[in-house]
Amino acid sequence: MALQDFIDMCHTLYDDIHGKEKINKIFNIFDEHTLDTLSFIYKTTFLERHYYIKKYANKNDKLNEEYIYFYINALQHFLIK
């Protein structure tokens, strides 16, 4: 996956709405492994996606459960283009 392309896309989508600082806080903690794992999880069914991303966020120090819907929405835009 192209991590920098993902981060750039997130800024394009969300900066005007939520501000660059908040988007940096939410997405700049990603690394290639996190993006690959979340992308893999995203490709499951709708209910599994929410369950497993929440579960992954709870065990990953970098991710915040509060931002699960940001993660899902960003992955949707990134993977379905």
Unique residue bearing structure tokens 């800024």: 11
Q: Would you state the structure tokens that stand for residue 69, as one six-digit string?
A: 């819907």
Contact at 8 Å (CB) between 56 and 38? Answer: yes
- Whether the pLDDT of residue 1 is over 70: the answer is no
Q: What is the pLDDT of residues 34-44, one digit of tens each?
A: 999 999 999 99
Domain that includes residue 34, residue range = 3-79
Nearest of 23, 25, 26, 49 to residue 38 by alpha carbon: 49
**Structural domains in the chain (count):** 1
Percent of the chain clearing pLDDT 70 (strictly above): 98
